[in-house]
Amino acid sequence: MRVLAIDTATELMSLAFLDGKRRYLYTRDGGLRHAETLMPEILSIVGRAAADSGQPFDATSRRLALAPDLVVCTRGPGSFTGLRIGMATAKGIAAGADCPVISIPTLEAYAWHIRHLEGTIIPAVDAKKSRFYCRLLRQPGEGTEDLDADVSTILRLAAGSARIFLTGPDAAALQAAMAVAAQNPKPPVVVDPACRSGCGDALLSLGMERFEAGNVDDEEQGPVYVRESDAELGLRVQPPKRR
């Protein structure tokens, strides 16, 4: 089975391609340039798989060398523009390959590789305005929903934990904010050293798990933002003037 995985929820871009038993991973940590770099990198990673399988591949072609049987992507929370780019690309590739799409909650994907640690796991994405998108995971299947929370709320929810593990692209920023808010935070806070290594491998595993259970996206599934955009808030607070 061939599976393509895409994450553009933050300034990190993670890609992965599964071709049978071979896994190809790519992560770029270089700012929000997904619109111009996503498709060239997808073509590159799939082209590597095609070359390894002995299939001819034209590097200048704008077509995938190997069609996926499943496309997996993050659904949010995260950057509004990044999520739209990732999901639109996933749906476009899936339509061309006539295969399903499975979208995975961003924070679930970021926490996947340390899910078995004992303590409270907090995957974090900087939501700006001194807030973080996060969820608190204490045991498999136990934790909060996705949150758009300030640091004091996160500290309150984590109170009583034996240890806190921070992961996700903005784990270090959350740790710094927690240290300022609590001076000497208890319980101990540990930052995952692989927090900015990308989540392509996690998306492959989570996507396959859902696929085998028959849980594929409906056609109407779109990004999940958690927070309204500034434009939406502005329209709600100050509706456009009638002419």
The residues, any chain, with a CB within 8 Å of residue 206's CB and separated by 6 or more, are: 72, 104, 108, 109, 112
Residue 202: count other Cβ atoms within 10 Å of its Cβ: 23
| Token code pair at residue 230 | 């500034």
Cα–Cα dist 59/52, whole Å: 14
162, 165, 223, 41: CA torsion to nearest 10: -160
Contact 66, 55 (CB under 8 A): yes
What pTM was computed for the model?
Answer: 0.91
Contact 15, 5 (CB under 8 A): yes
Cα–Cα dist 58/56, whole Å: 7
Residue labelled with tokens 């599934």: 221
List the domains of the chain with CATH numbers.
Answer: 2-106+197-232 (3.30.420.40), 108-191 (no CATH)
In this predicted structure, what is the pLDDT of residue 61? 66
Cα–Cα dist 231/219, whole Å: 26
| Token code pair at residue 12 | 């990190």
Per-residue pLDDT tens digits for 100-134: 999 999 999 999 999 999 999 999 999 999 999 99
Contact 77, 224 (CB under 8 A): yes
Low-confidence ranges of the chain (pLDDT < 50): 230-237, 243
Per-residue pLDDT tens digits for 86-98: 999 999 999 999 9
- Residues of the chain above pLDDT 70, percent: 89
In sequence order, the β-bridge partners of residue 25 are 16
In this predicted structure, what is the pLDDT of residue 232? 44
Contact 110, 104 (CB under 8 A): no
Beta strands in the chain (DSSP E): 2-7, 12-19, 22-29, 70-76, 101-105, 120-128, 131-134, 137-139, 142-143, 147-150, 164-167, 189-191
In this predicted structure, what is the pLDDT of residue 182? 82
